[in-house]
Chain A
Amino acid sequence: MDTLKVTNIHKDYDGAPLLKGLSLEVHSGEILCLLGRSGSGKSTLLRIIAGLEQPEEGEVTWNGINLANTPAHLRKFGLMFQDYALFPHRDVAQNVAFGLEMMRLPKNKISEMVKIALERVNMGDFAKRSVSELSGGEQQRVALARALAAQPRLLMLDEPLAALDRSLRLELQQELSTQLHQAGIPVIYVTHDQEEAVILGDQLAILHDGEIIQNDSPRQVYAAPANHWVAEFLGMKNFIQGRVSSTSPLIVTTPLGEFEVNKPQKAEINAGLDVTLSLSSENAEVIDAIDSGNIIRGTVTACNFRENGFLVTLDTGQEIAMEFVLQEAPPVGSPITLEIPPSSIILLHN
């Protein structure tokens, strides 16, 4: 069982701090998806781990051994570049062979391993092709074969699918997931696409403002986002500010009324705590009678058809309009009352 550990990394970019004390860990057989907006320093972190850049502070260790004095070419870490960085002066097979040549393996052994590596990514027939003739998806496969053929003890992928169109991306996500798990090594997969991160990642590490603000399984991240920013980044909607008024059952008082909320597993919650609620747009139900709690009242300002129902925009008197998906289209301009079940409300710490 191998472990890569990154501790308290600080890195400046153009004089401004980019990474501010970032730490994370990844183990054999695990895919860690590093998720963050573009420009958040994801690629820089990969370059630091690869040894292509030096951090101002902090350390990178492999099974407890500090790598500060190990240059990139001796780390045996694979890195797949965003635009693949295939060598234009070498054909497909020669690209894949590059890492093996550096290991000074005998020629026939190299060609055998190249063949296997190319077949593994279904590119066996492309060995003699020039890399400039390849499509985006083919380049991606060759880059993966090249990275894996060198038998790295860790693999990093920098937005490997970002340059491809959507349908190809979905197809390759599955393929990539299988390949990466088969490799059995620690994998760090950088992306800005939440959907991709959820499909591929065993762990999600969310990078914001130079730090990992949440590092959990995808399921846990969605069930309990660490804060308002994470929830918004994940695409959650309908935020209301409130204060905890009772803890069992957990009741939050908001300007729109009282809401009963399911208790989060880990967090400790006391009465009087200021929190933010995010109401799921999916499970709202239209009701006639005005019951006690968990109710949103508003005026319909827009109603648009979507594949899973009608997306209804409500003016609730709050600054920001709310959005819910309903099965029946209400007339625009009419008042409406919705009930939100406690299981569809996520409580966020401020």
Chain B
Amino acid sequence: MMIKAPAGKLRDITRHLLWLIPLLFLVLFFFIPLGKVLLVMVSRDGIVSVPSILKPLGFTIWQAALSTLLTFIVGVLAAYLFSHFRFIGKRSLRLLVTLPFILPTVVVAAGFNALLGPHGWLNLLLMNVFNLTTPPISILNTLCVILLAHVFYNTSILIRVVGSAWSALDVDLPEAGAVLGASPLQVFLKVTLPLLKPSLLAAGLLVFLFDFTSFGVILLLGGPAFSTLETEIYTQTLSMLNLRMAGILSLVQLACTLVVTLLYARVNAKRATTLKPGKGIEPQKPIGSTQKLFIGLSILFLILLFISPILSLVIRSFISFDAASGASRLTVTNYSGLFTNARQSYFYVPPVRAALNSLGFAMLTVALALLLGIATAYAQKGLPRIKKWIDSVIMLPLGTSAVTLGLGFLITFNKPPFDVASFPVLIPIAHTLIAFPFILRSVAPILASIPHNLMDAGSVLGASPWRVWWNVEAPIVSRAALVGGLYAFAISLGEFGATSFLARPDLPTLPVAIYRFLSQPGETNYGQALAMATLLLILCSLAMALIERIPLAGNREY
């Protein structure tokens, strides 16, 4: 018979108490606001018509489906390239193609604007060369640029999900097919494709989900002509002040994402069971001129697609364009202007303030998310039985659209001192909801993977439990926490959806300021928006580069 030591009992109580931290936080800042959003439909007045729901819903599905299809074409090509071939610069290209995934939407929007917009780099160049008075390319505010940005964003998902499944595919299987008489095409259709099907499905659903809930890209690149559920919630709330309509749209949005998320969870579970580790594909150098040509063209295409918006953003931020003379020159005025209050107006906030706000909010987010993430990870370790159940509850905020979250905060916290106007900490709190699952996913597997005998070895060698924790567990966990913290930092810096509801006019974050500057006319505003986007790009890339440099056991797929 086992006799429980008093110390063990104490530990059990602590573990139950640990649960309370994430649970209380979620109830207060997720479930109550979400409930309020649903309640608002009944409690508030407002004009609601079925066509005004169906129109944005229809367009949301249409653009998401189209984006997913296009992402598949680019993504499967990239996944094939990365899983099957060795070539010079593969690592860098891979990094380049996965970089967009962590880039804030405003940066991507600014990048495409800097490349293809009316003041964009390409238009300036063409106008200069052909002596035109109006920009020849007008792709901004079309469906085309929305699709392009979505492909840019989500190709990395296909590379991660499909590429890793493809390279892990047991090489014997296609060969077994060939020996049994299957031609290369038949091998692909009858062996490779069915084996990749779960991964393709999972990636497709994930991409669809992201395209479905896309907010910044539609708002900044699509312009007023296109409204999806997300942008419509935003407009109804902040411009039309029709909270009832916003609430209904949120419900529709929530229902759709829930269905897709559930489907994804099912497919993903199946994927995990069918993918058994075998001898993976060893990437080969391309052989023969057809293969070399194919690979060369693919690499060129990927570089063009992925580097040009980023590069345009950086280059264009150093160019000043004089509309009157049509001349453009290299300059740093876009950057020096960030520090001055050019308009001398009371409501104008110098961009450098926005940058400092963003940094402050990001630090707060990291602290909060670390506390929450690590507490949850330890609680999970202590109570593995209810882990699965709690796990899905904690991941719920991830599946909820940021705009709905912002709306919920706006409605729930409406009385001083805890209202949006007087309590700016709501911003890092909203960011924490989005960021802390990332910390949990970094820390929990590491914590679970620390073998018990490592701790036992420490104890047997004469260390007290506290010393064991300090010398064995803490160094391992802190590295995972650092990775998660960097993710939280980058997420907070770039978050736009929820922040656009919560940022006070005099206390904007960088993304909010970029959006404001981009939507105002004038070369100075445009240039400064690009300069800020470049700064944001650099900060996020730095966080990503640090994450890449930290060696971490276990998987890093999110």
Contacts and interface: CB of A to CB of B under 8 A. Distances in A.
B180 interface: yes
Nearest to B276: A88
Contact of A98 (B172, B180, B197): B180
B195 A88 contact: yes
A50 interface: yes
B274 interface: yes
Nearest to A76: B181
- The winner among B170, B184, B195 for most chain A CB atoms within 10 A is B170
Given A81-B172, A85-B172, A89-B195, A102 B181 contact: yes
A99 B181 contact: yes
Nearest to A86: B176
B283 to A, nearest CB: 15
A188 to B, nearest CB: 13
Chain B interface extent, by class: 20 to 34
A71 B182 CA distance: 10
19 contacts: A47-B175, A51-B178, A52-B178, A71-B178, A73-B180, A73-B184, A79-B175, A79-B176, A79-B179, A81-B176, A83-B278, A85-B175, A87-B173, A88-B173, A98-B182, A98-B190, A99-B180, A132-B276, A146-B180
B61 to A, nearest CB: 30
B35 interface: no
B187 to A, nearest CB: 8
A68 to B, nearest CB: 16
A89 B172 contact: no
Contacts of A83: 172, 278
Contacts of B276: 88, 132
A102 B274 contact: no
B520 to A, nearest CB: 56
B73 to A, nearest CB: 24
A273 B477 CA distance: 71
A91 to B, nearest CB: 13
A55 interface: no
A85 B170 contact: yes
B191 interface: yes
Contacts of B172: 81, 83, 85
Please list the 9 inter-chain residue pairs (A to B) with the smallest Cβ-Cβ separation, ordered nearest first. Answer: A85-B172, A102-B181, A99-B180, A85-B176, A72-B178, A79-B179, A89-B194, A73-B178, A81-B172
Contacts of B176: 79, 81, 85, 87
Nearest to B187: A73
A150 interface: yes
Interface in A286-309: none
A77 B274 contact: no
B269 to A, nearest CB: 15
B195 A72 contact: no
Contacts, number: 70
Q: Which of A47, A85, A101 has the most CB of B within 10 A?
A: A85
A341 to B, nearest CB: 50
A254 B335 CA distance: 93
A210 interface: no
A72 B173 CA distance: 14
B277 to A, nearest CB: 12
Contacts of A47: 175
Given A73-B182, A78-B180, A81-B176, 11 more contacts: A50-B179, A52-B178, A72-B175, A73-B183, A76-B181, A78-B179, A79-B179, A85-B173, A87-B195, A103-B181, A150-B181
B46 interface: no
Interface string B116-146: 0000000000000000000000000000000
B191 A87 contact: yes
A73 B179 contact: yes
A52 B175 CA distance: 7
B280 interface: no
Interface of A: 47, 50-52, 71-74, 76-79, 81, 83, 85, 87-89, 98-99, 101-103, 132, 146-147, 150
Contacts of B181: 73-74, 76, 99, 102-103, 150
A147 B173 CA distance: 13
Contacts of A71: 178, 183
Nearest to B178: A72
B382 interface: no
A85 B170 CA distance: 8
A98 B187 CA distance: 11
B186 interface: yes
B177 A89 contact: no
Nearest to A74: B181
A291 B176 CA distance: 63
Interface string B162-205: 00000000101101111111111011001100110100000000
A44 to B, nearest CB: 13
Nearest to B275: A88
Given A83-B172, A98-B190, A102-B186, A88 B178 contact: no
Interface in B240-255: none
A72 B182 CA distance: 9
B192 to A, nearest CB: 10
Contacts of B179: 50, 52, 72-73, 77-79
A51 B179 CA distance: 8
Nearest to A96: B180
Contacts of A146: 180
A213 to B, nearest CB: 28
A96 to B, nearest CB: 10
Q: Output the residue of A47, A78, A88 with the most chain B CB within 10 A.
A: A88
B216 to A, nearest CB: 39
A125 to B, nearest CB: 23
Contacts of B177: 73, 87, 98
A31 to B, nearest CB: 19
Contacts of B175: 47, 50, 52, 72, 79, 81, 85
B274 A88 contact: yes
Nearest to B195: A89
A146 B179 CA distance: 11
B180 to A, nearest CB: 4
A102 B180 contact: yes
A350 B182 CA distance: 48
A50 B180 CA distance: 10
A76 B178 CA distance: 10
Contacts of B182: 73, 98, 102
Contacts of B184: 73
B193 to A, nearest CB: 10
